[in-house]
Structure 1
Amino acid sequence: MKKTIMILSAALTMTTLYTEQAQAVDGLTANVGVSNNYVWRGISQTSDQAAISGGVDYAASNGFYVGTWASNVDWGDDTSAEVDLYAGYSFEAGELAFDVGYLFYGYPGGDSLDFSEIYASVGWEFLTVGYHTLADSDWDSDFGDSDYLYADLAFEVADGLELGFHYGVSNFDGGGDYSDYGISLSKDNFTLAITDVDENTVESNFLVAVSYSVEFDL
């Protein structure tokens, strides 16, 4: 899935998180990355500390793909790792690129923290719009009790240099909704990203993330 370590997971890099892998030809790939922070939907998952990640993906030429990705996390408790599993299908129709799938977030050693989402996205040239909804969780939440809607823009502003913009909205059945937004610059395997969240519902979380990731065939 090429879930890069900077992971602004659904922030900035989400434009290509799933569709890149699904558009690839048949093959098994691996990825590793390092970052000064692991940011997920505008919130640090490592208490603003460094993160190391890695994953393995298989993409078939018919559009189906499966994979796994893992990173260290730090929430101030016994939870120290995140392990994700996912499967999906991507296809194109005219100028539009579609992607649908299932994503499981696992937290070994955590107390009732695992959950999963169903996602879908559509991309057109420089724009990608996506939607995630809760499928299941280890806590007292059911299907559809939370969701995430986002829009990403990506432009090549110079040879190999990409400028990205992101805006996302997290909704929860029990309240606490908030939005996150950011801007990024990417070149080769490096990415610089700046993110923040809506101060009306969540404490301001201005973050700067610098990451480096590589992907290789197996």
Structure 2
Amino acid sequence: MGAALVGGLALPAQADELELSATTALTTDYVFRGISQTNQNPAIQGSLDAAYGIFYAGVWGSNITFADSLELDWYGGIASEWNGIGYDVGVIWYTYPGVSSTDYVEIKTGLSYGFTDNFTAGVTNYWSPDLKADALEAGAEYTFGTIMNFFDPSVSGLIGWQWFDAGGDYTYWNVGLTLGFMENWAVDVRYWDTDISDASCGAITGGPDDCSGRVVGTLSASF
């Protein structure tokens, strides 16, 4: 469940006035913490965001196949930098219109550090008092700089650990290449996988292959 919110290692722009932005994306599979939310089918996604200084807020949405619903994630928090260390503290409210019994909240806390102009790494924790669950992610990104005055390639990856008080803990990871172009557009090709068995995955999602390794392609634009 929930959104793989873009920017786990990134910080909102530090603005002296209100800044508004939006994103839209078409992906071959909506994967959240290693598990397909669309039974490995495509998804259309989008977000609206606002930032003012260190404060940010927004909403992100996607089609999903479970619960016969749409997912809308509302979030807000503060993000900035102190002595070269980026921090992000916020709240995410995962909602499923028409199926309110599945709504839940997570508290997000993250730290990141740019070791060079090209290499950034960070850790982020997501704690849900509703689900009695914790997810910890460690990720890194390396940017190559502009190529041919047109492309902005980068490689990134993460490994995450999901824990539940009731059991069912698992590990997930991804690695991929992002190719930015024309300033506002990007193509991302990413490999996802988990250590969840097919039998356990079938019990969770109804699709035994929803937790297995796969390549996901995403075309996105920002405005």
Same fold flag (TM > 0.5): yes
Moved over 4 A (4+): 200-204
Quote the residue 1:210 is aligned against. Answer: 217
Quote the residue 1:134 is aligned against. Answer: 128
Deviation digits for residues 121-160 of structure 1 (CA, Å, limit 9, x no counterpart): 0000110101010033xxxx4xxx1010000010124632
Task: Describe how 1:163-174 pairs up with structure 2 within 5 A.
Answer: 163-174=155-166
Deviation digits for residues 92-112 of structure 1 (CA, Å, limit 9, x no counterpart): 111100000000000112261
Quote the residue 1:3 is aligned against. Answer: none
What is the Cα deviation at residue 27 of structure 1? 0.6
- Are 1:176 and 2:171 an aligned pair? no
For structure 2, list consecutive stretches of 5 or more residues without a partner in the other structure. Answer: 115-119, 147-151, 181-185, 202-210
8 Å Cα contact 1:15-1:153 kept in structure 2 = no
Task: Describe how 1:1-218 pairs up with structure 2 within 5 A.
Answer: 9=4, 14-16=7-9, 19-20=10-11, 22-25=12-15, 26-61=18-53, 63-75=54-66, 77-79=67-69, 81-110=70-99, 112-125=101-114, 126-136=120-130, 141=131, 145-157=132-144, 159=146, 160-188=152-180, 189-199=186-196, 202-203=200-201, 204-216=211-223
Identical columns (%): 29
> In structure 2, how many angstroms separate the alpha carbons of the residues matched to 1:121 and 1:114?
23
Deviation digits for residues 6-57 of structure 1 (CA, Å, limit 9, x no counterpart): x6x27xx5534xx43x234331111111111100000001110010011111
Q: Residues 94 and 193 of structure 1: is their aligned pair in 2 closer, same or farther, counting only changes over 3 Å?
A: same
Q: Residues 111 and 94 of structure 1: is their aligned pair in 2 closer, same or farther, counting only changes over 3 Å?
A: closer
> In structure 2, how many angstroms separate the alpha carbons of the residues matched to 1:96 and 1:105?
28
Measured on the aligned residues, the alpha-carbon RMSD in Å equals 1.9
Letter paired with 1:206: G
Give the TM-score, by structure 1 length.
0.83
> In structure 1, how many angstroms separate the alpha carbons of the residues matched to 2:86 and 2:143?
19
Deviation digits for residues 71-118 of structure 1 (CA, Å, limit 9, x no counterpart): 10002x423x10010010012111100000000000112261100100
> In structure 2, how many angstroms separate the alpha carbons of the residues matched to 1:24 and 1:162?
23
What is the Cα deviation at residue 200 of structure 1? 6.0
> In structure 1, how many angstroms separate the alpha carbons of the residues matched to 2:60 and 2:42?
17
Q: Residues 15 and 86 of structure 1: is their aligned pair in 2 closer, same or farther, counting only changes over 3 Å?
A: closer
Q: Count matched residues.
A: 194
Structure whose alpha-carbon radius of gyration is higher: 2
Which of the pair has the greater relative contact order for Cα pairs under 8 Å at 6+ separation?
A: 1
Letter paired with 2:48: V
